Amino acid sequence: MKGYSFVHPRGDFVLPHADRTNGLYFPLANEAGYMAAITPTGGGDAKIDQNHFLLPPAAVVDLHNTRFTRTIWVRFDDGSCWSATGSSHEQKAAEPELHTVEAGLLWHKTIRKHAARPLTAEIVSFVPNDEVTAEVVRFTLRNTGASPLRVLPTAVVPLFGRSADSLRDHRHVTALLNRVEITSQGVLLQPSMSFDERGHSVNTTVYAVMGRRGDGSLPTGCFADLDSFIGEGGDLERPAVIYSPEHADAVRLSPGDVVEGSEALGAVQFDQVEIAPGAEIQLYCLAGVFAHTDGAARAAERYCNPAGFEAALAANREFWDAKLNTVSCTTGNSEFDAWMRWVSLQPILRRLYGCSFLPYHDYGRGGRGWRDLWQDCLALLLMEPDSVRESLLQNLAGVRFDGTNATIIGSRPGEFVADRNNITRVWMDHGAWPLMTIQLYIDQTGDSGFLFESQTYFSDPQWGRASRKLDATRGDTLLYDQTGGVVRGSVFEHLLLQQLSAFFHVGDHNSILLEGADWNDGLDMAADRGESVAFTGQYAANLAWLAGVLEQVSAEVTEIALHHEILQLLDRYAGTPVDYDDPAAKRARLQSFFDSCQQGPSGEMVNVAAVDLAADLRAKSDAMIDHLRNREWIQTPDGHGWFNGYYDNDGERVEGGGTDSPRMTLTGQVFQVLGGVADEQQVDRIVAAADAHLWDDAVGGYRLNTDFRELKLNMGRCFGFAYGHKENGAMFSHMAVMFANALYARGRSQAGWRTLEAIFNAASRFSASRMYPGIPEYFDPKGRGLYPYLTGSASWYLLTVVTRMFGVRGHYGDLVLDPQLQAAQWGELDSVSVCTYFRQRQLQIVYRNPEGLDVGEYRVTAVVADTGELAFTLRDGAAVIDGAAIDRVAMDCTGPEQAPTVLRVELGRRDNGAGV
Ligand code: G1P
């Protein structure tokens, strides 16, 4: 089956017969908070948050089963009726009509041809890039025949007008709150009260559906309650209002009419119109959520006309295009480049939607999960760096003094929630992510001073890694010291507490306890004795980075101010050293730290010499690495070797086994490779084992785990999932991409590219993946891409492409150029290029490889800016350019505003000594 084709390098694509694939949806959103999904047949939903759904909430199963879809009906002179989205019983029963989706950033168009008449309907939808929380739609009806066509058009948007919670909690009763007023432009639903988690309160929100003809004429009538619209025995695919003019006349509403107490919908009907042969008519519609009725009316005035619509659409395309240009790439494969634009959009979508609010993401109540938030920042650092410093700092206010953190971050600064389901738990990986993101931030900007910014701590009744319950405190989420002062600490101290708390919190095998789960949310049934060896590796790497950064800044920062109680955890620096081979001793030390600041720290600060602190942290990191290398490397009878990643709740090692029943997880390998725990030989053996046990072309590469063939109740719910799905052995993009990143980082660029390419190929194979361009959370056993758009893998994919594949990255603010592109990635091109932000400046790096050399054969031989050649040094085969030199070049280069500073980089044979 032919899938979509890209029709423009900026990512525009065309997908014929899109309505013959289930589960497809497209995001329509803006920065103001409108979040919608639209299917090829007008399905999906729209909302501004959990409590304000414009259309009825739609999970993926609803996309092909519900009749609550946006459409426009056409009634012909002879009484026959047709839906421009194919939503009539007759159309569903007949042979499929010709139907195409065209889409770009971030607009959506469907084109449908009537099977028997010379009529084509084109529907263009987008969300204006301004303060309006609404989608605007242009319906074009074109007469492609030789005789005039007379049509009566009615645009319909089903309305929900309340909280998603009301879907299964008083759906009927909440409909009784509905009050709809008809105006000259359309329908305004303003329920009298809102029932939601805040209790019952007077509702002020307005849900509007408004429309106009292209010639400015207003609707001739509206319909606003579902029951009378569909009529007795009818439904939304055969509504009586459309099929029976007598019924329509009986229930048609006029400006000033009010409808109360029923399920609502917004239907605007226009005068019957004659479309001349070859001519077309346009109707404009707006559906949105507003704070006032005036706002809705003004928005309709603004957008529901040809000029307003066109201008907003053009501005919208320009906005998204400019945003994605900041990280665009050009390689020998233009399909890959266009696909990458959609991948690059995904982290922004997750910033806008959070982890909820698209049909597959039918969970959560908005806000973003802690680990997701930090990982999305990785990509945003490369493409939207302006506000990242501020948000990184704000997010750190979610760290508790025990090293754990709030798990949900609201959309407003400083809004933190311990747990969306009010369950007391800790995900043991959470402490690892902020450091990884801040490391990238410092490398990309050179702003190591950020580490010494001050921030508050999060406090709630959960203490001691969820082992203790404190009395409810002051009603805010700030931490106070024993004298009543608000506790503040440096960014460094926040990161330090997260790593130290994890370091001491080990299980009987001396790896860090799994607690509620780690990155794999599905490993959630081993909270007592389970251990994540996988993340122990990452924490070891993080401790080493903290030591390294202290050494790096030691010329300017000789002492670090810390809360006195933390010294207990710096046992190699102060007090009695703990035996790092003794898990019980480690845990005991952590408990005494928890005891000492259960009522808040004393407030006393100490200065610790940076070099001494670095030595303490290095000792910890080294001890962990030694332990992992020596105790967790497993050798299987068939000659393979890899790292054990976990212990289960019975304290048993999870991985191992022979050829017939190998138990291997990808997660167990990724962090050891990425963090440098695995030695060179181990890296190669891991790749060999992963290729033998986890690789599967059909699903896009490395699976998350082998088939354990056991309902491992002592490990987690993921073992209850059918094998090959989601966290039980799917090709789970996030972990596979992190593996690719790790492989590049360890110089295995061919294996890294193979991993990235396999995902791109699987996603692009539409006949199996059945998804629009982008990276899905995972591929199911049939190769279908699920949970599109909102996945952390997009952030990691982009990061890996820019900083590893193109090798454009920072090191404490210096620019490293370390391309790892395969010769074939130049294709027919002379040069390949990538754009990214670096030191808050937009750069475009253009690599020329005139001799067609392969990775390993080439190195950077010259770097040329518009202003002249740039000096660089070679470090481990990579060119390193002083950060200040980049600043100078960027300032001296003149060009149109927003244009990136271009660096032309020549690649030549490695043995060529030029340019150094
Ligand atoms: C999703 C969640 C992420 C979790 C992962 C594995 O991944 O968002 O927090 O770590 O499942 O359970 P994503 O699709 O975002 O990569």
Does residue 915 surpass a pLDDT of 60?
no
Does residue 916 surpass a pLDDT of 50?
no
Residue 776 Cα to ligand 1 middle (Å) = 11
Does residue 2 surpass a pLDDT of 80?
no
Question: Each residue of 502-520: pLDDT tens digit?
Answer: 999 999 999 999 999 999 9
Q: Is 178 in the pocket of ligand 1 (CB under 6 A)?
A: no
Question: Each residue of 753-807: pLDDT tens digit?
Answer: 999 999 999 999 999 999 999 999 999 999 999 999 999 999 999 999 999 999 9
Rounded Cα–Cα distance for residues 598 and 600 (Å):
5
Q: Is 354 in the pocket of ligand 1 (CB under 6 A)?
A: no
Is 644 domain-assigned? no
Question: Each residue of 155-181: pLDDT tens digit?
Answer: 999 999 999 999 888 899 999 999 999
Domain shared by 709 and 817, yes or no: no
Q: What is the pLDDT of residue 891?
A: 83
Q: Is 521 in the pocket of ligand 1 (CB under 6 A)?
A: yes
Is 650 domain-assigned? no
Q: What is the CATH number of the domain that holds 18?
A: 2.70.98.40
Rounded Cα–Cα distance for residues 64 and 59 (Å):
10
Q: If you take atom 1 of ligand 1, which residue's CA is the nearest one?
A: 791
Domain range for 842 is: 806-909
Q: Is 39 in the pocket of ligand 1 (CB under 6 A)?
A: no
- Cα 596 versus chain centre, distance: 39
Split at pLDDT 50, 70, 90, the class of 897 is low
Is 546 domain-assigned? yes
- Cα 73 versus chain centre, distance: 36
Split at pLDDT 50, 70, 90, the class of 384 is confident
Q: What is the pLDDT of residue 895?
A: 61
Determine the average pLDDT of the residues in 831-858.
Answer: 96
Rounded Cα–Cα distance for residues 61 and 555 (Å):
60
Whole-model pTM: value is: 0.96
Residue 373 Cα to ligand 1 middle (Å) = 11
The angle formed by the CA atoms of residues 862, 867 and 873, to the nearest 5 degrees, is 35
Residue 191 Cα to ligand 1 middle (Å) = 36
Spatial CB neighbours of 68, under 8 Å, sequence gap ≥ 6: 43, 55, 56, 58, 62, 158, 236
Spatial CB neighbours of 584, under 8 Å, sequence gap ≥ 6: none
Domain shared by 362 and 475, yes or no: no
Spatial CB neighbours of 493, under 8 Å, sequence gap ≥ 6: 560, 561, 562, 563, 566
Q: Is 793 in the pocket of ligand 1 (CB under 6 A)?
A: yes
Split at pLDDT 50, 70, 90, the class of 473 is low
Q: What is the pLDDT of residue 118?
A: 97
Residue 767 Cα to ligand 1 middle (Å) = 25
Q: What is the CATH number of the domain that holds 742?
A: 1.50.10.10
Residue 640 Cα to ligand 1 middle (Å) = 29
Determine the average pLDDT of the residues in 290-306.
Answer: 96
Residue 520 Cα to ligand 1 middle (Å) = 7
Q: How many structural domains are present in the chain?
A: 4
For residues 358-368, b (16+ Cβ closer than 10 Å) or e, as one string? bbbbeebbbbb
Residue 358 Cα to ligand 1 middle (Å) = 15
Which of 796, 823, 856 marks a domain boundary? 796
Determine the atom of ligand 1 nearest the C-alpha atom of 355: 8
Domain shared by 422 and 303, yes or no: no
Is 636 domain-assigned? no
Domain shared by 430 and 465, yes or no: yes
Domain shared by 851 and 820, yes or no: yes
Give the residue, out of 704, 791, 799, with the most ligand 1 atoms within 8 A of its beta carbon, to mutate for a pocket test.
791
Residue 726 Cα to ligand 1 middle (Å) = 10
Q: Is 372 in the pocket of ligand 1 (CB under 6 A)?
A: yes
Split at pLDDT 50, 70, 90, the class of 913 is low
Q: What is the pLDDT of residue 754?
A: 98
Question: Each residue of 79-124: pLDDT tens digit?
Answer: 999 999 999 999 999 999 999 999 999 999 999 999 999 999 999 9
Q: What is the pLDDT of residue 140?
A: 98
Do residues 402 and 465 touch, judged by C-beta distance below 8 A? Answer: yes
Question: Each residue of 423-436: pLDDT tens digit?
Answer: 778 999 999 999 99
Determine the atom of ligand 1 nearest the C-alpha atom of 777: 14
How crowded is residue 302: how many other Cβ atoms within 10 Å of its Cβ?
18
Is 518 domain-assigned? no
Q: What is the pLDDT of residue 896?
A: 59
Q: What is the pLDDT of residue 177?
A: 94
Question: Each residue of 551-565: pLDDT tens digit?
Answer: 999 889 999 999 999
Q: What is the CATH number of the domain that holds 837?
A: 2.60.420.10
Does residue 437 surpass a pLDDT of 90?
yes
Domain shared by 812 and 790, yes or no: no
Q: Is 791 in the pocket of ligand 1 (CB under 6 A)?
A: yes
Split at pLDDT 50, 70, 90, the class of 890 is confident
The pLDDT > 90 percentage for the chain reads 90
Domain shared by 627 and 749, yes or no: no
- Cα 788 versus chain centre, distance: 9
Q: If you take atom 9 of ligand 1, which residue's CA is the nearest one?
A: 372
Split at pLDDT 50, 70, 90, the class of 387 is confident
Q: What is the pLDDT of residue 475?
A: 79
Split at pLDDT 50, 70, 90, the class of 412 is confident
Give the residue, out of 734, 739, 741, with the most ligand 1 atoms within 8 A of its beta carbon, to mutate for a pocket test.
734
Does residue 914 surpass a pLDDT of 80?
no
Split at pLDDT 50, 70, 90, the class of 422 is low
Domain shared by 824 and 776, yes or no: no
Is 515 domain-assigned? no
Split at pLDDT 50, 70, 90, the class of 198 is low
Spatial CB neighbours of 914, under 8 Å, sequence gap ≥ 6: 861, 862, 908
Is 523 domain-assigned? no
Residue for token pair 């309709």: 300
Q: Do the strands 901-909 and 841-848 form a parallel or antiparallel pair, or are they unpaired?
A: parallel
Split at pLDDT 50, 70, 90, the class of 209 is very high
Q: What is the pLDDT of residue 60?
A: 95
Determine the atom of ligand 1 nearest the C-alpha atom of 519: 10
Domain shared by 709 and 684, yes or no: yes
Domain shared by 888 and 832, yes or no: yes
Determine the average pLDDT of the residues in 623-641.
Answer: 95
Question: Each residue of 657-701: pLDDT tens digit?
Answer: 877 889 999 999 999 999 999 999 999 999 999 999 999 999 999
Question: Each residue of 216-256: pLDDT tens digit?
Answer: 999 999 999 999 999 999 999 999 999 999 999 999 999 99
Q: What is the pLDDT of residue 196?
A: 64
Is 849 domain-assigned? yes
Which of 613, 631, 649 marks a domain boundary? 631
Question: Each residue of 858-878: pLDDT tens digit?
Answer: 999 999 999 999 999 999 999
For the chain, counts of helices (H) and of strands (E):
22, 52
Question: Each residue of 475-500: pLDDT tens digit?
Answer: 788 999 999 999 999 999 999 999 99
Which of 744, 778, 796 marks a domain boundary? 796
Return the structure tokens found at 219.
Answer: 């609707």
**Mean pLDDT of all residues in the chain?**
95
Rounded Cα–Cα distance for residues 566 and 559 (Å):
15
Determine the atom of ligand 1 nearest the C-alpha atom of 371: 9
Spatial CB neighbours of 390, under 8 Å, sequence gap ≥ 6: none
Domain shared by 118 and 213, yes or no: yes
Q: Is 519 in the pocket of ligand 1 (CB under 6 A)?
A: yes
Domain shared by 792 and 826, yes or no: no
Q: What is the pLDDT of residue 409?
A: 79
Determine the atom of ligand 1 nearest the C-alpha atom of 520: 12
Q: What is the pLDDT of residue 894?
A: 61
Question: Each residue of 523-538: pLDDT tens digit?
Answer: 999 999 999 999 999 9
Q: What is the pLDDT of residue 365?
A: 84
